[in-house]
Chains A and B, each alone.
Chain A
């Protein structure tokens, strides 16, 4: 009994620890949720469809790409394929975070993978890196607020979209890159961080100019990961850890 009460209490505080960490993500994503809803309706989606897309896909960049293509009357299968391409980076997150949450019950893991977004991965991975256990309560505390607000903001954006004033002056279009830079900086203590960042930056820029969006994400990421694989293990700190 006592042990149960204690573990329940710690699960609760773990959950709120996660919620606290989710706040910057909620703030950073808010303009995009609203923007997505507004753009979706502008491109022929109903308010319900826009909200449903956010609730089921939960991947901002891919939703923006999908809406853009929908507005251009691109073939449905091509829209789905493009969303898949933008989200393909999650395969890497999944493989990496899978090592941290493999001790959860299967249902919890299934839910955990559903909310595996860029910031979710980055923050959870950082916790694991600090030697702490990534628990289900903490992980959901981090992910749920982002998910709930994302769906609500999409609905609000869809309803009130045309009322957003000058988005450029408010810097809304560039908030995500700033946020992502912060996540990149958070990993700077990792072995090979600088070479990986340089390789990925260079490859993604070249791919962006040649192949075009959204492929620059997959190509740039592959370049950085490949460099880490190719360099001798004693540079990557993996050998020393064992």
Chain B
């Protein structure tokens, strides 16, 4: 087998371990400490924020406008509405500010 194939298979196994590993470790404890539970509850916002913040900081006015509009729409509308609004503002703004 080629090296590329080995890289893909090894990376796939490593990735699956990250997806099943957290559960395998946590399920060994039958009582979850309140602080651990508080930490777990914070996970989604904590992780997803790291996928937005540095990208937002490194972007320009067009991207900022898109994020602001998307955030405002998300206060009222659903995920799809906010996504489409953000994408529309982004495409439109980039025609002017590149």
Contacts and interface: CB of A to CB of B under 8 A. Distances in A.
A190 to B, nearest CB: 6
Interface stretch (A11-19, A150-158, A213-221): A213-221
B90 A90 contact: no
A220 B49 contact: yes
A102 B27 contact: yes
A27 B42 CA distance: 27
Interface in B30-86: 32, 34-57, 59, 63, 66-67, 70-71, 74-75, 79-80, 82-83, 86
A148 interface: no
Contacts of B56: 177
Contacts of A170: 91
The 8 closest A-B pairs by CB, nearest first: A224-B46, A94-B22, A98-B23, A95-B22, A220-B50, A228-B42, A236-B38, A56-B12
Interface of B: 3-12, 14-16, 18-27, 32, 34-57, 59, 63, 66-67, 70-71, 74-75, 79-80, 82-83, 86-87, 90-91, 94-95, 98
Is chain B's interface secondary structure helix, strand, loop, or mixed overall? Answer: helix
A46 B5 CA distance: 10
B8 A53 contact: yes
Interface residues of A, number: 100
A79 B86 CA distance: 33
A174 B66 contact: yes
Contacts of A23: 80
A176 to B, nearest CB: 7
Contacts of B18: 84, 87-91, 94
A80 B5 CA distance: 12
A111 to B, nearest CB: 11
Given A94-B19, A196-B46, 13 more contacts: A76-B6, A76-B7, A88-B18, A90-B22, A121-B44, A122-B48, A178-B70, A178-B83, A182-B86, A200-B53, A220-B53, A222-B46, A225-B43
B71 A56 contact: no
